[in-house]
Amino acid sequence: MTVERVLPTAEAHDLIDLVRELAGKEVAPRAAADEATGRFPREVFTTLGRSGLLGLPYPEEHGGAAQPYEVYLQVIEELAAGWLAVGLGLSVHTLSCFPVAAYGTDAQRAELLPEMLGGELLGAYCLSEPHSGSDAAALTTRAARDADGYTVDGVKAWITHGGAADFYTLMARTSPDGARGISCFHVPAGTPGLSFGEPERKMGMKSSPTAQVRFDAARLGPDALVGSEGEGFRIAMAALDGGRLGIAACAVGVAQAAFDAAASYARERRQFGSRIADFQGVGFMLADMATRIAAARALYLDAARLRDAGRPYGTQAAMAKLFATDMCMNVTTDAVQVLGGYGYVEDFPVERYMREAKVLQIVEGTNQVQRLVISRAVAKG
């Protein structure tokens, strides 16, 4: 079912119409086959890029589309409803562009952003390491400065688009000084000393490559540094606030797709002479699903509007990510239940939605970390 959207401008409605056409014709029809084989649909991102969707929330002067987060996130939601690997991929790409866009020098922005946002390139974001996940400030990948730039050594883990991306936004340690010793770098693919692990064998999102990104005496020039030395952790956390909203939007999209499948099945499936949607046991489940989806959408849009207004929104972003992804797990699980045996087999998409939902409770900060963020804000008063 088409989601009724209140958007701020006529151009945003045109954008959503375009995205729905792309999602319906280029994204959703390929999802099941590529998820079954684990093939990465790089060409779908090229199609999205040529339609101008790979730089939506960034300024027009650098090749973006100057769209508010309120609109950009609804684009993510529509794409994720078609195929999470694409919606989440776009969210990760957009996150990867954030440090250069927000903290880069004018020269870096002018040189790098047009290509990063132009649609032909795809980004990856390298923060986590095998032994540094929730405790991101404990990362050990080292960028040692010398006269000509930096030498990077270390391993980044769980990197979406690892091995497939055209550039890597890297957080690495430039001094032993904890969170204040981390710096941000822009690393093009093909940098000598950069290599990749085998893609992880995941429970879902099998078509989106997740791999280790390894740095073995990788050489970066001095202008690879984004922001100042030591500013990396602050940049990473600011990027993640936006990234969390992207994940919340993905969760709402996947849940909406699962709900649509379950509701349409319940309207057709007849048992004991009635449509199962007319049985209260099923009907109330569907009612709860629809309500939770609507609530999660309202929550991420509320956080987005705070961001668009230039107000602090980190706590609201954590709330949206927490609520939307837990909701998504819940709704996709119920969608499988509504379809019964049919829900458990691969001939219907709902088992895929359920597997996809799980990763959203983990990425961009586990939901336990989101509770930590929210509870700290509450305790601080």
Partner 1 sequence: MNIVVCVKQVPDTATERKLRSDDKTLDRDAADGVINELCEYAVEEALRLKEAHGGEVTVLTMGPGKATDTIRKALAMGADKAVHLVDDALHGSDALGTSYALAQTLKKIGFDLVVLGSESTDARTGVLAAMLAERLGVPQLTFSNKVEVNGETITAQRVTDYGYDRVEASLPAVVSVVEKINEPRYPSFKGIMAAKKKPVTTLGIADAEIDASQVGLANSWSEVVDFAAAPPRAAGTIVKDEGDGGVKTADFLASKKFV
Q: Give residue 152's identity as a one-letter amino acid code.
A: V
Distance separating the N- and C-terminal Cα atoms of the chain = 41
- 11 near partner 1, rule: CB under 8 A: yes
364 is catalytic: yes
Structure tokens at 213: 């990104």
Q: Closest CB to partner 1 among 26 and 34? A: 26
Minimum CB distance to partner 1 smaller for 114 or for 149: 114
Closest distance to partner 1 from the beta carbon of 74 (Å)? 14
Stretch near partner 1 under the rule CB under 8 A, chosen from 49-57, 95-103, 292-300, 314-322: 49-57
Question: Which window, 8-16, 217-225, 264-272, 351-359, contacts partner 1 (CB under 8 A)?
Answer: 8-16
User: Minimum distance from CB of 356 to partner 1 (Å)?
Assistant: 25
Phi (first) and psi of residue 141, to 5 degrees: -55, 130
* Contact characters 118-147, partner 1, x per CB under 8 A: ------------------------------
Q: Which of 53, 152, 350, 374 binds partner 1 (CB under 8 A)?
A: 53
Nearest approach in angstroms of CB 64 to partner 1 is: 10
Q: Out of 29, 33, 39, 50, which residue is the one contacting partner 1 (CB under 8 A)?
A: 50
Using CA atoms, how far apart are residues 246 and 75, in angstroms rounded to an integer? 10
**54 vs 184, which CB is nearer to partner 1?**
54
Annotate the chain with three-state secondary structure: CCCCCCCCCHHHHHHHHHHHHHHHHHHHHHHHHHHHHCCCCHHHHHHHHHCCCCCCCCCHHHCCCCCCHHHHHHHHHHHHHHCHHHHHHHHHHHHHHHHHHHHCCHHHHHHHHHHHHCCCCCEEEECCECCECCCHHHCCCEEEEECCEEEEEEEEEEEECCCCCCEEEEEEECCCCHHHHEEEEEEECCCCCEEECCCCCCCCCCCCCEEEEEEEEEEECHHHEECCCCCHHHHHHHHHHHHHHHHHHHHHHHHHHHHHHHHHHHHHCEECCEEHHHCHHHHHHHHHHHHHHHHHHHHHHHHHHHHHCCCCCHHHHHHHHHHHHHHHHHHHHHHHHHHHHHHHCCCCCHHHHHHHHHHHCCCCCCHHHHHHHHHHHHHHC
Question: Would you say 39 or 50 has its CB closer to partner 1?
Answer: 50
CB of 20 to partner 1, least distance (A): 12
Site string for partner 1, 58-97 (x = CB under 8 A): -------x--------------------------------
| Stretch binding partner 1 (CB under 8 A), from 11-19, 208-216, 257-265, 303-311 | 11-19
Among 7, 28, 46, 47, binds partner 1 (CB under 8 A): 47
Least distance in Å: CB of 67 to partner 1?
9
Least gap, CB of 42 to partner 1 (angstroms): 17
Residue closer to partner 1, measured from CB, 53 or 187? 53
Instruction: From 27-35, 47-55, 145-153, 240-248, give the range in contact with partner 1 by CB under 8 A.
Output: 47-55
Within 14-33, the residues that bind partner 1 by CB under 8 A are 14-15, 18, 21-22, 26
Rounded to whole angstroms, how far apart are CA atoms 92 and 124?
Answer: 6
Binding site for partner 1 (CB under 8 A): 11, 14-15, 18, 21-22, 26, 47, 50-53, 56, 65
Q: Which residues are catalytic?
A: 364
